[in-house]
A = this chain, B = another copy of it.
Amino acid sequence: VGFGSVGRRFSELLGGAYGRRLRSAGWRVSVTAIATGRHGMAIDPRGLPLARCRRLVEAGGSLTSLHQGPPVSHTLELVRRAPADVVLEISPLEPRSGQPAIRHVRAALERGLSVITANKGPVAFARARLLALARRRGVGFLHEGAVMDGIPVFNLVERCLPGARVTGFRGVLNATTTRILACLEAGVGAEQALREVQAAGIAEADPGFDLDGWDAAVKACALAAALLGARVRPDAIPRRGIRGLDPERVVAARRRGRRIRLVAEARRRERGRAELRVGPRELPLDDVLASAPSDGVLVLETDLVGDVAIWQGRGGVDQTAYALFSDLMALLAGDGRRFPRG
């Protein structure tokens, strides 16, 4: 569900070295349905020709010519009808509501299909409900790509820190603001900085969600849901972005050997509650949150292991496509007993 740059890159991985790694682990994966918003949709139980799908979409065409069987007109209908074991949800997100991704995930889980998503919305707004539904149906709901692309964040805690208690976290989770702040440090003006980051394909055409700290807030809520077991709504947390930040302040901090970053912080409170906030913070240059070049850093505060950080160099489409792949590998390795080996 969704065949933008991440979905297309994932489909390339299946045809290359990563697909060979799946096959050498005994799995054969085929894509039997694709839904897009502006390029039609197609179901083919024998597996869609992925290179042709990519060429069609990249040329502005439609997938509908590849469709087999009774016509399908709506993404939810495709999710309900596609012959599949796993649904990848990577549709464009309305970040204030988490829709339509949440509807797609729910429809798939209700059918007893496992879901892998790189969308932060379903995690931030509905993780507990969706996970409960997945458990009732005996299927998986994995979402490593929702925060920091393919860098393990959720899986790190679940698979590598068993029994440890996360008591809070501090993260630089939004690459757009980090890159803009780095430009400002170098003396580039605010508008020029934004244009440079947009040209690099990092910032959205409408960067408001990044600049106002909304993206960081949604990611913080996704992390709080998974790591602290807390349901917090993004619009309920104190949030400041970098839009009003004086570029002079950024330059002055750098001159003092310090650096400003947009930091999301969370602290576990009693009875399943958590305290979150998002805002610009001035950090020592050798703080791991300030290290560079980096598109994401998350410091986990734990009860016994102390502070543990996971750090991402450059992020992008490759990393998010890998997140889908790694969740798929985990699904097949863990819950995979249900799936026939090819």
Instruction: Give A residues with C-beta under 8 Å from B.
Output: 13, 17-18, 21-22, 149-152, 155-156, 159-164, 257, 259, 285-288, 290-292, 294, 299, 303-315, 318-319, 321-322, 325-326, 329-330, 333
Contact = CB atoms under 8 A, between A and B. Distances in A.
Contacts of A305: 149-151, 318-319, 322
Contacts of A306: 312-315, 318-319
A193 B159 CA distance: 38
B162 A326 contact: yes
Given A292-B286, A294-B288, A306-B319, A326 B151 contact: no
- Secondary structure class of chain A's binding surface, majority of residues: mixed
B318 A308 contact: no
A185 to B, nearest CB: 10
Contacts of A299: 311, 313
Given A156-B156, A257-B257, 20 more contacts: A13-B304, A17-B303, A150-B304, A156-B160, A159-B159, A162-B333, A163-B325, A163-B326, A285-B285, A286-B290, A288-B294, A305-B319, A306-B313, A306-B315, A307-B313, A307-B314, A308-B311, A309-B309, A309-B310, A309-B313
B288 A163 contact: no
B160 A155 contact: yes
A318 B304 contact: yes
Task: Pick the 6 closest A-B CB pairs, nearest first.
Answer: A307-B313, A152-B160, A309-B311, A162-B329, A288-B291, A159-B159
**Counting chain B CB atoms within 10 Å of each CB, which of A17, A285, A290 scores highest?**
A285
A321 B151 CA distance: 26
Contact of A151 (B152, B257, B286, B308): B308
A337 to B, nearest CB: 12
23 contacts: A17-B303, A22-B163, A155-B160, A159-B159, A162-B326, A164-B322, A257-B257, A285-B286, A286-B290, A286-B291, A299-B311, A299-B313, A306-B315, A306-B318, A307-B313, A308-B311, A308-B312, A308-B313, A309-B309, A309-B311, A309-B313, A310-B311, A311-B311
A318 B259 CA distance: 32
**Counting chain B CB atoms within 10 Å of each CB, which of A17, A291, A325, A329 scores highest?**
A291
A160 B159 contact: yes
Contacts of A156: 152, 156, 160
A186 to B, nearest CB: 13
A164 B292 contact: no
Nearest to A298: B311
Contacts of A307: 311-314
Contacts of A150: 304-305
Contacts of A321: 304
